[in-house]
Amino acid sequence: MTAALELDGSSAGGQFLRTALALSVVENRPVRLENVRGDRPTPGLANQHLAVLETMTEICDADVTGAELRSETIEFDPNLDRRPGRGGLERLAGGHYTVDIGTAGSAPLLFDALLPLSTVLESPLSVTVTGGTDVAWSPPLDYFRFVKLPVLRRFGVAAACEIDERGFYPAGGGRTTLYLAPSRLDRIDLVERGPLEGVRLYSTESASLADRDVAMRQAEGALERLHRAPSLELRERCETTARSPSPGSVLVIRVDHGSGVAGFTALGERGKPAERVGEDAADAANRFLDGSAPVDRHMADQLLVFLALVGGTVRVPAVTDHLETGCALLERFGGRIDLEAGDDRTTVAVTSSLGPDD
């Protein structure tokens, strides 16, 4: 039996847990995590983190200890050697699973943990989640659908997402489904941005806010603030009124360029004018447009787990705490990481890759 990899989350948050579980499955390597979410005001597993752990456990038929709320130590063994696939390769069976986070915990963050599993699937997998779709401290669902998935599809991840109902804070109650198919990834190289091509706006309001024209006002606020070069045409403007148990709104701006896309978001808040929501997202987009990196600062650390699987080089707009923590975690799994900083020339290079050999 392979000894569990000992990991310390005392200076990390939920993303450390999600990435560690994903790499544990792909590498078929047991892990022991101590001090889970140790740098958060309330450490240990919250509902959304427990939902990720329980979903991974069910999909893999894994052995797990510490799967309970507020637990600060967990042990997880995916046991993929009990599920041989074609040619003797260790593969996960697909199927359909349902998950109820039970709060407004983030469905997109749960999906983030599952995406790398596409590289070890034997057959298609779908997971329907009830919870928050657009909540604080996590990517809105439209960022996941219209920014992250298009980037990953370019490098071979076969994934799609459908939404039935929005879930804003505090009630959650949104319902969305992730579809994954067995995938073979290509090396990820995103160093040059390429020419700017267009911008897309996705502005959403709950039905309870429709009489205030929140979605339209968010979009107008964004367009008035956004610095658009003549070549950066408005390619799409989508304003949606959606069912949701809680009032809420969200805006996602996508910038299309020669080597991919980048995304910028803002959530509505009680007492905050809808126009200001649009302006906040546009300010983030403007900072990106003033630089030359091909990915936004959030995508930078979300790509790390895929860099670990196939190798590659990505230039990022900033070295965030999430990025540094993620790089350190990859090194614990045996990856070799080069992080070179400079004026808008910061690159993350993975010179050896993890993951299954095909």
Does 89 have pLDDT greater than 60?
A: no
Q: Are residues 106 and 151 in the same domain?
A: yes
Cα distances from 200 to residues 70, 176, 225, 230, 344, in angstroms, run 40, 22, 14, 15, 24
Q: What is the mean pLDDT of the chain?
A: 91
Active site residue 322: yes
Which residue, 290, 309, 326, sits at the end of a domain? 290
pLDDT at 70: 97
Q: Which of 203, 171, 199 is nearest to 274 (CA)?
A: 203
pLDDT at 86: 38
pLDDT at 339: 77
Q: Are residues 166 and 230 in the same domain?
A: no
Q: Which of 72, 68, 65, 81 is nearest to 29 (CA)?
A: 81
Average pLDDT over residues 329-334: 91
Share of the chain above pLDDT 70, in %: 92
**Where in the sequence is the domain holding 221, given as residue range(s)?**
194-290
Q: Are residues 286 and 223 in the same domain?
A: yes
Which residue, 185, 211, 232, sits at the end of a domain? 185
Q: Are residues 220 and 105 in the same domain?
A: no
Distance of CA 358 to the CA centre of its chain: 25
Q: Are residues 354 and 215 in the same domain?
A: no
Q: Which residue has the tokens 């997971």?
A: 127
Q: Are residues 225 and 91 in the same domain?
A: no
* Sheet order of strands, 260-267 included: 233-242, 196-206, 249-257, 260-267
pLDDT bracket for residue 64 (50, 70, 90): very high
Q: Are residues 172 and 102 in the same domain?
A: yes
pTM: predicted TM-score of the whole model, two decimal places? 0.93
Q: Distance between CA 73 and CA 8 in Å, rounded?
A: 9
Q: Are residues 178 and 108 in the same domain?
A: yes
Q: Distance between CA 239 and CA 256 in Å, rounded?
A: 19
Q: What CATH code is carried by the domain that includes residue 176? A: 3.65.10.20
Two tokens at 353?
């890759």
Q: Distance between CA 335 and CA 281 in Å, rounded?
A: 34
**81 burial class (0-12, 13-18, 19+ CB within 10 angstroms)?**
exposed
Buried b (16+ CB within 10 A) or exposed e, 145-170: bbbbbebbeebbbbbebebeebbbbe
Q: What CATH code is carried by the domain that includes residue 211? A: 3.30.360.20
Q: Are residues 152 and 82 in the same domain?
A: yes
Does 46 have pLDDT greater than 50?
A: yes
Which residue, 290, 321, 346, sits at the end of a domain? 290
Q: Are residues 65 and 101 in the same domain?
A: yes
- Provide the domain count of the chain: 3
pLDDT at 90: 64
Does 29 have pLDDT greater than 50?
A: yes
pLDDT tens figures, 336-355 = 888 776 655 677 777 666 75
Q: Are residues 224 and 341 in the same domain?
A: no
Q: Are residues 175 and 241 in the same domain?
A: no
